[in-house]
Chains A and B, each alone.
Chain A
Amino acid sequence: DTEVTQTPKHLVMGMTNKKSLKCEQHMGHRAMYWYKQKAKKPPELMFVYSYEKLSINESVPSRFSPECPNSSLLNLHLHALQPEDSALYLCASRPTLGTREYEQYFGPGTRLTVT
């Protein structure tokens, strides 16, 4: 089983709203990622959590706030977004031990539209 789930599938929000994206995996992976993907482009790394601690922040604006409440869950809190933040937000996870240590598995994404 290599399933990463993300909710919601679609989200439309105004520039003054606060919303959250949720990601979940039950594969025991201790590294979890948030990526942003614009149309016809590759995923761009935003944040990396390793063992529930933030290990990489790719200079993402503070209107995006990640949270890792436990080893299975990853949230992305959104506040005061801009229209250019509209994109597909992807969560990914990977094992940190074993022969499949490097394999990163993506969820289906949340399609975010900021109006």
Chain B
Amino acid sequence: GENVEQHPSTLSVQEGDSAVIKCTYSDSASNYFPWYKQELGKGPQLIIDIRSNVGEKKDQRIAVTLNKTAKHFSLHITETQPEDSAVYFCAARVGAGGTSYGKLTFGQGTILTVHP
């Protein structure tokens, strides 16, 4: 089945700096890559996603890039703020033909801390 690796496991930045989180996936049939933000005591919140026919997507301070050849995708947060502090999960959804069709496989998570 699909395997998603996420790095780093913890990331500490100063307010205003950029933060980058990287994920790699194993199943070339994966076609959808969402990113979730989970604050303490809450459920995961979908913050941005990208499909396999797109290389980059941006939404205000966050962006996601996808390299299908290398099977990796990244989350970029610019001008970080203390309220960006949370656990971030990447995920991959396997498309038709994959052994885990339709399921989301999550990375292990990154704890992001933004210091004021």
Query: Which residues of chain A are near B49, meaning CB under 8 Å?
Result: 102-103
Question: A43, B44: Cβ atoms under 8 Å?
Answer: yes
> B44 → chain A, closest Cβ, in Å?
5
> A109 → chain B, closest Cβ, in Å?
5
Chain B residues with a Cβ closer than 8 Å to the other chain, count: 20
Question: B104, A106: Cβ atoms under 8 Å?
Answer: no
Question: B93, A42: Cβ atoms under 8 Å?
Answer: no
A102: contacting residue among B45, B89, B93, CB under 8 A: B93
Closest to A40 in B: B109
Question: A108, B43: Cβ atoms under 8 Å?
Answer: yes
Query: Which residues of chain A are near B104, meaning CB under 8 Å?
Result: 45, 104
Closest to A104 in B: B104
New contact pairs (4) apart from A43-B106, A102-B49, CB-CB < 8 Å: A6-B43, A42-B107, A48-B103, A102-B93
